[in-house]
Amino acid sequence: MSTDADVNASAPAGTDGLVMGKDGMAALVDVLIGRGFTVIGPTVRDGAIVLAELGSADELPYGWGVELEAGRYRLRERSDGAAFANSAGPQSWKSFLHPSRVREWSADRAKGQLVFEADHAPPPRYAFLGVRPCDLRAIAIQDRVLTGGAHRDPVYAGRRSGALLIAVECTEPGATCFCVSMNAGPAAGPGYDLVMTEVVDDDGHRFWIRGGSQEGAEILAELPGRPADPRTREAARAGVTAAADHMGRTMPEADLRELMAGTLDAPRWDDVAGRCLTCGNCTMVCPTCFCTTTEDVTDLTGDHAERWRLWDSCFDLDFSQLHGGPVRSSSRSRYRQWMTHKLGTWYDQFGSSGCVGCGRCIVWCPVGIDITEEAAALHDWAATTGSPDDSPDPDLPHGDGPP
């Protein structure tokens, strides 16, 4: 499993890969479909680049880019015809690996006895085409959360174990991206089966593609292309290096875990609470947020019941509900829960950051709240108030939880 340190390591040795044109991309999608994969990739729909099932490579967003800002997302036509020169859209791969709604099991009542039955639907076998480095890291993080502990989430594990990951290195970060700060891009970390870098220059529009696993290498062997030439490799590497230099956002240079733990009483939380609508959009678009709730339903006969699992959000008032009321009733405490979890307590729970710097939460927040700006404000506050108070006075009045 990846760690922070090894994410920007280079591709496994053994193949310099191929250089292929759009025909190679078309062949790749055909090969994947031929091998029985459901191919999911970016495509233009409803004014956005979304992730959807692809029937052919023609559906890739050739010639489309995006303009991103806090609270703003716009498609933009590109003259170079590039397919992957656009950064994260509203969805992430978690929609497929950790679906927003699944039936876990059902129960039937006959003569007073209950009979339980697990849901046996076989998982689809996905090929994800165009996984950005930040999202590749997000998948590694969800792997750790959902399959790395004492209990494995079988729904996630089933979908994940069959999934083929085809990464695309980032050459066109958006104005809201900060993967460099989170050490999650723009070069692809480990975990992919195939990785591509797209190059458009005087030598034409092409993809440098390399294998990262046995299965990836087998697929690579079926693709039309020529051995990678030094000019393409250099152009690809230069594009990725340049991307690292023009990230739109950056996190303060600080130990974010310590910063979060030391600023729980900062007045900035009141400030952001005044703007936050607690709509939970940031949690829905985040590629690592994993929280769910359960719903138990019965049919009209009353003798058949089902257990469903649904995405949930820590911005929901019900999320921390106890019988005496919610633990986190103020929006201040709920925004703080989200951000301190992402950047701080995630380390304690799962050994890494919960944020990969994809910027989605900034783009899709209706009021443009920016996690990097909030972190910077907390950092400034901690710097001006000296070392954060880590020994609160036990006799201060504190909110008493539910009875």
Ligand X SMILES: Cc1cc2nc3c(=O)[nH]c(=O)nc-3n(C[C@H](O)[C@H](O)[C@H](O)COP(=O)(O)OP(=O)(O)OC[C@H]3O[C@@H](n4cnc5c(N)ncnc54)[C@H](O)[C@@H]3O)c2cc1C
- If DSSP codes are grouped into helix, strand and coil, which group holds residue 9? coil
277 binds ligand X (CB under 6 A): no
Among positions 71, 154, 248, 351, the unique one binding another protein when judged by CB under 8 A: 154
Q: Using CB under 6 A, which of the segments 121-129, 228-236, 238-246, 314-322 binds ligand X? A: 314-322
| Three-state DSSP state, 154 | helix
Interface pick for ligand SF4 out of 48, 282, 378, 382 (rule CB under 6 A):
282
367 is an interface residue for ligand SF4 by CB under 6 A: yes
Could you say whether residue 342 binds ligand SF4 (CB under 6 A)?
Answer: yes
Q: Pick out residues in 350-389 that bind ligand X (CB under 6 A).
A: none
Query: Given the complex with another protein, which of 245 and 296 has the nearer CB atom?
Result: 296
What is the DSSP-derived secondary structure letter of residue 201? E
Binding to another protein by residue 389, rule CB under 8 A? no
Residue from 102, 279, 317, 376 touching ligand SF4 (CB under 6 A): that is 279
Measuring CA to CA, which residue among 274, 304, 238, 283 is closest to residue 374?
Answer: 274
Cα separation, 12 vs 214, in Å, equals 11
**Paired strand residues for 196:** 168, 209
Smallest distance from another protein to CB 298, Å: 4
Q: Based on the shown chain and the rule CB under 6 A, indicate whether residue 70 belongs to the binding site for ligand SF4.
A: no
- Per CB under 8 A, the list member of 227, 230, 274, 403 interacting with another protein is 403
Stretch that binds ligand SF4, among 41-49, 156-164, 252-260, 353-361 (CB under 6 A): 353-361
Instruction: Give rounded-to-5 percent helix, strand, coil for the chain.
Output: 30, 25, 45
Question: Between 3 and 161, whose beta carbon lies closer to another protein?
Answer: 161
CB of 276 to another protein, least distance (A): 14
Token duo for residue 69: 């800002």
342 contact, one of ligand SF4, another protein, ligand X, none, CB 5-8 Å limit per kind: ligand SF4
CA-based angle 354:356:361, to the nearest 5?
A: 85
Our finding on whether 321 is near ligand X (CB under 6 A) is yes
Nearer to ligand SF4, 124 or 248 (CB): 248
The single-letter DSSP state of residue 338 is H
**Residue 337 is a binding residue for another protein (CB under 8 A):** yes
Of 77, 76, 202, 209, residue with least CA distance to 130? 209
- The residue type of 20 is M
Binding mask 85-114 for another protein (x = CB under 8 A): -------------------xxxx-x--xxx
Size of interface with ligand SF4, in residues (CB under 6 A): 25
Instruction: Return the bridge partners of 49, or none.
Output: 44
Q: By the 8 A CB rule, do 88 and 358 touch? A: yes
Tokens found for residue 226: 């020529």
DSSP sequence for 287-324: SS---EEEEEEE-TTSSEEEEEEEE--TTSGGGGEETT
Cα(79)–Cα(231) distance, integer angstroms: 22
Partner whose binding site includes residue 116, from another protein, ligand X, ligand SF4, none (CB under 5 to 8 Å by kind): another protein
Query: DSSP state, 264?
Result: T
Site residues (CB under 6 A) for ligand SF4? 276-282, 285-288, 315, 342, 355-361, 365-367, 369, 371
Which spans of this chain sit near ligand X (rule: CB under 6 A)?
Answer: 318, 321-323
